Amino acid sequence: MKKSKRKKEQKVLDLDVLEQLNLNAAGIDVGASEMYVCVPVDRDEEIVKVFSTFTVDLHRLADWLESCEVDTVAMESTGIYWIPLYEILEDRGLEVNLVNARHLKNVAAQKTDVLDCQWIQQLHTYGLLRGSFRPEEEVCAIRSVVRHREMLVSYRSAHIQHMQKALHLMNVQLTNVLSDITGETGMKIIRDIVAGERDPHVLASYRHGRCAKSKEEIAKSLQGNYKREHLFALKQAVELYDFYDQQLRGCDEELEALYAIFDPPPTAVEPPKAKKRKHRKNQAHFDLATSLYNMTGVDLTQVEGIDALTAQVILSEIGPDVSKWPTVKHFASWLGLAPQNDVSGGRVLRRGTKKDQ
């Protein structure tokens, strides 16, 4: 017979003894049009007040918290509505804890706006809420522009597809002879088609020297049915592509200005010579690698598989200071890469990483 495994002895804790850690704590239930705020019971005749989300009302909210001698605040990260209030309270010197809604979703309580803010305040008083990570203001500004830039790249990509569709409708098989129609050869041909050129041999003369296909093959692919409506769609797609390309250049100018405030830290080492890398589409229109080096004091592009754009995405999300994560394991857990197994009664019910929030 198999020997039965002994169960580990578990200590019984006294759950009625909870120490109040944050005596000057407030809780805020964030909404699109109203903010419900709760302060400790001995600070005002009304411990719960509601404020509108207009800027003047948010400043009134901050004034009330200061008059109630509140020094720490907890609020849920509801959409983007929390950002203006977060910034105002942070400027006033209050400690603001942005709480993940997942930490509160299983609370067994009646769901009304008033009770939500009271419950947040009570949990925060006992130190049961942990604030989400938010980088410094300078990094937040860079992160906002980087995310906006990625959105513009996706919008521009849609118009590349529109160009491809218009060419296919005219049976111009340019995509069969060029790996990228937005390269030097492809855009010269497309712009000349929009300008009115129809001779395939003239168009094929724009072939770049490194192009794998011959002029004859390119000329053959350009013999199509140039109908007016499809040419119009192609023309508009090119104009929109150029527009978003110009917007991307504007984003890069703004990023270059934001990076300019960083100087290499005293501990920075002399950066090694840059590796020769294949040019990546959507690359920045300024010396991004040097800007990132000034920000961190190390050249992250020397890591295999990481170029300047990849390094920018990482640093714009976490900033140059990783000391807020005690170990590599903590950082991997925050990224959602660490295993999170659901265990009940000693049995693993589900294996896998944390779901996207």
Q: What pLDDT is stored for residue 265 in this prediction?
A: 75
> What does the alpha-carbon distance between residue 246 and residue 240 come to, in Å, rounded to a whole number?
10
pLDDT value for 275? 59
> Do 26 and 129 meet the contact criterion of CB atoms below 8 Å apart?
no
Q: What is the pLDDT of residue 1?
A: 47
Query: How far, in Å, CA of 131 to CA of 124, rounded?
Result: 10
Tell me the whole-structure pTM to 2 decimals. 0.81
Look at residue 185 in the predicted model and tell me its pLDDT: 92
Predicted local distance difference test score (pLDDT) of residue 116: 85
Residue with the two structure tokens 């340019």: 174
Q: What is the pLDDT of residue 112?
A: 62
**Residues 296, 315: contact at Cβ < 8 Å?**
yes
From CA 258, how far away is CA 295, in angstroms rounded? 11
pLDDT under 70: residue ranges of the chain:
1-18, 103-114, 268-269, 271-280, 345-346, 352-357
Q: What's residue 109's pLDDT?
A: 54
